[in-house]
Amino acid sequence: MMTRDEFEKLIEAYGSQDDRWPELLKPDMDAFVQANLEEANSILQDEAPLDHVLDHMVTPPPTDLLKARILRQARTVNQSLQQDVIVTRYVTPWGRIAAMLLVAFAAGFGGAQFIGFSSTDIHEGPENLIVEIEQSSESEWQLAATELGMTEIYEWASGETVELTSLSDSGI
Amino acid sequence: MKDMSDPDGDIIPRIASGDEKALSLLIDRHMGSIHALCYRMLQDSFMAEDITQTVFLRTWQMIPNWQPGQAKLITWMRRVATNLCLDSLKKRGPLYTDSLPEDSDVTPNAVDSLVFADRKRVVAVAIEGLPTRQKAALTLTYYQHVSQKEGAEILEVSESAYESLLARARRSLKAALEPNRDDLLDMGQA
Confirm if B173 and A49 have CB atoms less than 8 A apart: no
pLDDT at B31: 97
Residues 6 or more apart whose CB falls under 8 angstroms from that of B116 comprise B105, B106, B107, B187, B190
Largest Cα–Cα distance of chain A, in whole Å?
A: 133
Read off the pTM: 0.67
Arithmetic mean of pLDDT, B161-176? 94
For residue B149, which residues of chain A lie inside 8 Å, CB to CB?
22
Average pLDDT, chain A: 76
Could you tell me the CA-to-CA distances from A77 to A45, B20, B89 in Å, in that order? 52, 12, 27
The alpha helices in chain A, defined as continuous H runs, are: 4-14, 26-35, 37-55, 65-90, 93-123, 126-148, 151-169
Smallest Cβ–Cβ distance between A23 and the set B49, B145, B147 belongs to B147
Q: CB–CB of B52 and A75 under 8 A? A: no
Q: CB–CB of A70 and B57 under 8 A? A: yes
Using CA atoms, how far apart are residues B84 and B97, in angstroms rounded to an integer?
23
Binned at pLDDT 50, 70 and 90, residue B190 comes out as very low
Instruction: Supply angle C-alpha B54, B60, B63, rounded to 5.
Output: 125
Using CA atoms, how far apart are residues B128 and B85, in angstroms rounded to an integer?
13
Q: What is the pLDDT of residues B97-110, one digit of tens each?
A: 555 555 555 555 66
Judge whether residue B144 has pLDDT over 80: yes
Q: Is B21 exposed, middle or buried (0-12, 13-18, 19+ CB in 10 A)?
A: exposed
For residue B56, which residues of chain A lie inside 8 Å, CB to CB?
70, 74
Judge whether residue B75 has pLDDT over 90: yes
HSE of A45 in the Cβ direction (CA atoms, 13 Å)?
6
Using CA atoms, how far apart are residues B87 and A172, in angstroms rounded to an integer?
73
Q: Which of B39, B53, B160, B164 to mutate to test the interface with A (most CBs of A within 10 A)?
A: B53
Other C-beta atoms closer than 10 Å to the C-beta of A50 total 20
CA distance B120 to chain A (A): 6
Q: Which residue of A has its CA nearest to B141?
A: A20
pLDDT at A16: 94
pLDDT at B100: 53
Q: What is the pLDDT of residues B13-69, one digit of tens each?
A: 999 999 999 999 999 999 999 999 999 999 999 999 999 999 999 999 999 999 888
Smallest Cβ–Cβ distance between A13 and the set B24, B45, B170 belongs to B170
Could you tell me the CA-to-CA distances from A34 to A20, A39, A47, B180 in Å, in that order? 18, 10, 18, 33
- Taking the Cβ of residue B164 and every Cβ of chain A, the question of whether any pair is shorter than 8 Å is answered with yes
> Does residue A98 sit in helix, strand or coil?
helix
Arithmetic mean of pLDDT, A143-161? 64
Q: Which of residues 46-75 of B touch A (CB under 8 A)?
A: 48-49, 52-53, 56-57, 60-61
Binned at pLDDT 50, 70 and 90, residue A6 comes out as very high
> Does residue A124 sit in helix, strand or coil?
coil
C-alpha dihedral (B140, B143, B147, B151), degrees to nearest 10? 0
Could you tell me the CA-to-CA distances from A12 to A44, A52, B124, B158 in Å, in that order? 9, 14, 20, 18
- Taking the Cβ of residue A93 and every Cβ of chain B, the question of whether any pair is shorter than 8 Å is answered with no
For residue A69, which residues of chain B lie inside 8 Å, CB to CB?
53
Q: CB–CB of A74 and B57 under 8 A? A: yes
Q: Which of residues 95-124 of A touch B (CB under 8 A)?
A: none
Q: What are phi and psi of B158, to 5 degrees?
A: -75, 165
The three-state (H, E, C) secondary structure of chain B, written as one string: CCCCCCCCCCCHHHHHCCCHHHHHHHHHHHHHHHHHHHHHHHCCHHHHHHHHHHHHHHHHHHHHHCCCCCCCHHHHHHHHHHHHHHHHHHHHCCCCCCCCCCCCCCCCCHHHHHHHHHHHHHHHHHHHCCCHHHHHHHHHHHHCCCCHHHHHHHHCCCHHHHHHHHHHHHHHHHHHHHHHHHHHHCCCCC
